[in-house]
Amino acid sequence: MLNLIRMNNYRVRHMTCMYVLVIIICLFAVFSVSTISAAVEEMASGEYEEYDGMVDAMIAGYNDAAIEDGNEEGVINIGIDAEENGDAYKEGYELGQEVSMNFGIVSNQPIQPDGTVSSYLAYYYEDISSGLLLMFLTIAVVLFYNREQNSGFIKNISSKLTSRTSIFFSKFVTMGIYMLVIMLITAVSEYFALWIYYDGNLTFGINVLDDFVPKFCVQLLLHIAFLSGVIMVTTVTKSSTMGITIGILAITGFSDFIVLIIKVLLDFDMSKYLIRCNIASVNLNSGSEVVNHALLVGIITIIVYNVIGCTWFAKRDIA
């Protein structure tokens, strides 16, 4: 197993497309920082509305409904008053969905009225949870997994090993390592881009470190879970196009159509079990209930996707 992991790491380091993706990710990190000035202008003109994840959207949705009903004092704190105000929570959730649901990738930049970001860690966390990095990782995973299939290398290595499970799992571990490296590179790129943008006057965010570390670990787990699904689709279909297409469509929110249909037909909210929705819901202000739910969904999803993918890979004909 260790030899397979080392071999896969060697292959990753010598794939040109991986370095191209790293460069593109760094450029997007710089581009993300460059959009701060536009957001500040929107804030100054009163056109910029920032919702810190689904929770604030639900609160905003309920408050809007309360005001429309003539209740000017109708303010609710989701997570504290949710059990005591079940109807309000449901109403806020439904209206909040209208506020927050959109297609594409959105990053809620934590910009303060004076034009500065609240902290580097908060800014970096918002970019991670937006799904932008996940889109690039999806492309990298598919290219890596199907590279050996297209070159015929998988035939040679599978004939010399008794366990295809070790082949599949070693690639999964390798891409997990690659994901961590990419996240580190993104973190460094954004830090220096922000540091240059603010002429060195940048708050790192020690005050949010206690919230950042555990929730960042949950985000790592959810990213791994999502990539496990992409790996499963790529393995089952043997198609790079299918894996990339389904992955990007899921990231950009087109799965919401399926969620809406299921909710209308079966009165069942599937969104809380989707990786993308859990990635968006876990923010620095999330309570333990939201974090624990996302953690459980991530663990179960990783197990299910990898069992299916590994079983399929072990039983299929390698051609």
For residue 100, give the nearest of 69, 142, 64, 138 by alpha carbon. 64
Strand ranges in the chain using DSSP code E only, listed in sequence order: none
For residue 269, give the nearest of 283, 281, 252, 287 by alpha carbon. 281
Percent of the chain surpassing pLDDT 70:
70
Q: What is the mean pLDDT of residues 76-98?
A: 45
User: Between 233 and 61, whose confidence is greater?
Assistant: 233
pLDDT band of residue 298 (cuts 50, 70, 90) is very high
With a CB cutoff of 8 Å and minimum separation 6, the contacts of 235 are: 145, 168, 309, 312, 313
- For 187-211, the pLDDT digits (tens) are 999 999 999 988 888 889 898 898 9
pLDDT in the model for residue 53 = 42
pLDDT band of residue 226 (cuts 50, 70, 90) is very high
pLDDT in the model for residue 76 = 43
**65-79, 117-131, 147-161, 304-318: which has the minimum mean pLDDT?**
65-79
Contacts 24+ apart (CB under 8 A), 252-256: 252/103, 252/104, 252/105, 252/131, 252/135, 253/101, 253/102, 253/103, 253/104, 254/103, 256/101, 256/103
User: Between 97 and 116, whose confidence is greater?
Assistant: 116
User: Between 261 and 289, whose confidence is greater?
Assistant: 289
Q: What pTM was computed for the model?
A: 0.75
Q: What is the mean pLDDT of residues 123-147?
A: 85
pLDDT in the model for residue 65 = 52
Amino acid letter, 261: I
pLDDT in the model for residue 105 = 64
> Partners of 309 in the beta sheet?
none
pLDDT in the model for residue 216 = 93
What mean pLDDT, rounded, does the chain reach? 75
Angle between helices 16-34 and 164-197 (to 10 degrees): 30
Q: Is pLDDT at 100 greater than 70 in this prediction?
A: no
pLDDT in the model for residue 70 = 53
Instruction: Count Cβ atoms below 10 Å from residue 72 Cβ, excluding itself.
Output: 9
